[in-house]
């Protein structure tokens, strides 16, 4: 049950959205300001009726796939994951670079499948793919701003959708994903691979077994020097740096936030309530310009808005707290933050260590080794992970494996459109809080109250 204030805010937010919708239809939008209703800022939500239980679709013996964007991550998913999975057919490939399309076509043929159809007529040729091809799933690994257009085109043409992270950039995009998935009754999954990393899945298993007690707090973050990537002359360097020029917040929250959200049952017993966010100065990109770019390089004149460090605090409806960090512009070896703390103990990654009251030596950390032996997540003991070929230690393979496994079985997916929307919404909400001098910002309830009776994610067998 929501606390009284939350119930009032949710009701007011619902009424405000409905009034805006009706006012636009009836030509009376000028009256909106007179209402002065409390609650969340306008989110663009419309009260579309959706299922209270997780979405399932009829099982399918094979999954016919189309890929949009087959550069670095897209080609990795095709070659190292989906081509190795039973019951998958790659039927169509789309990219703005014809040579990339041809490479994937050749590789699919080498794997013994028919040559997939090519779509390389420009940035919106994915629309033709979605309209023409008889597919079950469209997977996109494009620049961020194209994730929602591709997913929406897929769902409106009767296909399930899967996207690389983040699923959306703006709040309106988050709502568009939710509303389209609900209306079309199609899966829309954000492929958050870190939810399938070994330590994170061990943590979830310990939480489900109650060893950490009641989970009260989490810390997470993405800490990765991306200056070389952002200033590259190909791949992500062609588009990712532009976001640093115009945006200031946490632009990439889901690698850390996804695993913490699953441990806290976000959208399945709890939800994000509100957040505050602040960014420090922007210095790292500017130093890189001076020290690595030639004097006549046009990129030396670019300016950057993104603070080198962004810190965010998130509160949940049940009063839990989350600390979230983003750090991609300063020199540092790759790491993430992953801490889950409960009433009986805590687990940390980077470094890996655990303390459980009554089990660990008094006031002394333990290594995770013996916990992996006793409490390894079943997926990491399965035959599936033994087939994994690279990809961040195997987690990329597992995320793709689980998606196909769920679709073929007609089961609910591990992550759904509400996760895609709520985890991705943190991008826009942190930008809003930073711009408002760290003022609190409400997080929309993309489930529209269904989080209260949806079941937590279970521990699936291999």
Mean pLDDT of 257-272: 98
Residue 373: strand, helix, or coil: helix
Q: At what angle do helices 254-263 and 198-208 cross, to 10 degrees?
A: 20
Q: Which residue(s) pair with 188 in the sheet?
A: 161
Q: At what angle do helices 254-263 and 417-435 cross, to 10 degrees?
A: 120
pLDDT level of residue 387 (50, 70, 90 thresholds) = low
Distance CA(160)–CA(135), nearest Å, equals 9
β-strands 345-349, 309-316 pairing: unpaired
pTM of the model: 0.89
Whole-number pLDDT of residue 51: 62
Mean pLDDT of 181-195: 98
> What is the residue-wise DSSP string for 94-122?
E-SSHHHHHHHHHHHHHTTSPPPEEE-SS
Residue 278: strand, helix, or coil: strand
Whole-number pLDDT of residue 47: 57
What ranges do the domains of the chain cover? 4-35, 63-190, 194-389+417-452
Residues 302-327: b if buried by 16+ CB within 10 A, e if exposed: bebbbbbbbbbbbbbbbebebbbbbb
Distance CA(9)–CA(48), nearest Å, equals 18
Cβ 251 vs Cβ 243: under 8 Å:
yes
Encode pLDDT of 359-371 as tens digits: 999 999 999 999 9
Mean pLDDT of 414-433: 98
Q: What is the mean pLDDT of the chain?
A: 90
Cβ 267 vs Cβ 448: under 8 Å:
no
Distance CA(249)–CA(242), nearest Å, equals 14
Tell me the fold of 194-389+417-452. Answer: Dihydrodipicolinate Reductase; domain 2 (3.30.360)
pLDDT level of residue 345 (50, 70, 90 thresholds) = very high
**Is the pLDDT score of 41 beyond 70?**
no
Angle at 240 between CA 311 and CA 187, to 5 degrees: 85
Cβ 183 vs Cβ 48: under 8 Å:
yes
Angle at 381 between CA 375 and CA 387, to 5 degrees: 155
> For residue 320, what is the DSSP state?
-
Query: Order of strands across the sheet with 117-119?
Result: 117-119, 88-94, 63-68, 137-140, 160-163, 188-190
| CATH number of this structure's domain 63-190 | 3.40.50.720
Residue 414, phi then psi, degrees to nearest 5? -60, -40
Encode pLDDT of 60-107 as tens digits: 999 999 999 999 999 999 999 999 999 999 999 999 999 999 999 999
């Amino acid at each position: 049950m929501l606390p009284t204030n939350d119930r009032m805010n949710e009701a007011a937010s619902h009424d405000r959205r409905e009034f805006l919708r009706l006012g636009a239809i009836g030509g009376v939008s000028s009256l909106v300001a007179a209402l002065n209703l409390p609650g969340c800022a306008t989110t663009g939500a419309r009260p579309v009726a959706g299922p209270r239980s997780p979405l399932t679709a009829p099982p399918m013996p094979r999954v016919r796939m189309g890929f949009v964007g087959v550069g670095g991550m897209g080609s990795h998913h095709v070659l190292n994951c989906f081509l190795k999975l039973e019951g998958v057919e790659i039927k169509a490939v789309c990219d703005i670079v014809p040579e990339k399309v041809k490479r994937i076509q050749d590789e699919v043929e080498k794997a013994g499948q028919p040559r997939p159809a090519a779509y390389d007529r420009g940035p919106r040729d994915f629309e033709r793919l979605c309209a023409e091809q008889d597919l079950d799933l469209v997977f996109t690994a494009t620049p961020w701003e194209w994730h929602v257009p591709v997913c929406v085109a897929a769902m409106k043409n009767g296909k399930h959708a899967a996207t690389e992270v983040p699923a959306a950039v703006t709040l309106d995009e988050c709502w568009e994903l939710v509303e389209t998935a609900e209306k079309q009754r199609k899966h829309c999954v954000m492929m958050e691979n870190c939810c399938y990393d070994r330590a994170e899945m061990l943590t979830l298993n310990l939480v489900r077994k109650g060893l950490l007690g009641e989970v009260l707090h989490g810390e997470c973050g993405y800490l990765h020097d991306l200056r070389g990537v952002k200033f590259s002359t190909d791949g992500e360097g062609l588009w990712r740096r532009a976001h640093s020029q115009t945006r200031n917040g946490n632009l990439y929250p889901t690698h850390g936030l996804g695993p913490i959200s699953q441990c806290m049952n976000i959208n399945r017993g709890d939800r994000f309530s509100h957040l505050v966010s602040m960014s420090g100065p922007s210095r790292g990109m500017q130093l890189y310009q001076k020290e690595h770019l030639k004097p006549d390089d046009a990129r030396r004149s670019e300016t950057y808005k993104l603070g080198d460090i962004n810190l965010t605090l998130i509160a949940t409806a049940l009063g839990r707290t989350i600390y979230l960090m983003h750090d991609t512009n300063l020199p540092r070896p790759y790491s993430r933050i992953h801490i889950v703390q409960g009433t009986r103990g805590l687990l940390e990654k980077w470094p890996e260590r655990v303390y459980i009251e009554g089990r660990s030596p008094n006031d002394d950390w333990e290594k995770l080794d013996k916990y992996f032996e006793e409490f390894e997540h079943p997926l990491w003991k399965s035959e599936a992970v033994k087939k994994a070929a690279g990809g961040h230690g195997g987690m990329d393979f597992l995320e793709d494996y689980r998606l196909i496994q769920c679709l073929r079985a007609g089961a609910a997916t591990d992550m759904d459109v509400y996760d895609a929307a709520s985890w991705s919404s943190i991008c826009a909400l942190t930008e809003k809080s930073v711009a408002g001098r760290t003022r609190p910002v409400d997080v929309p309830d993309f489930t529209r109250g269904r989080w209260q009776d949806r079941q937590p994610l279970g521990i699936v067998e291999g």
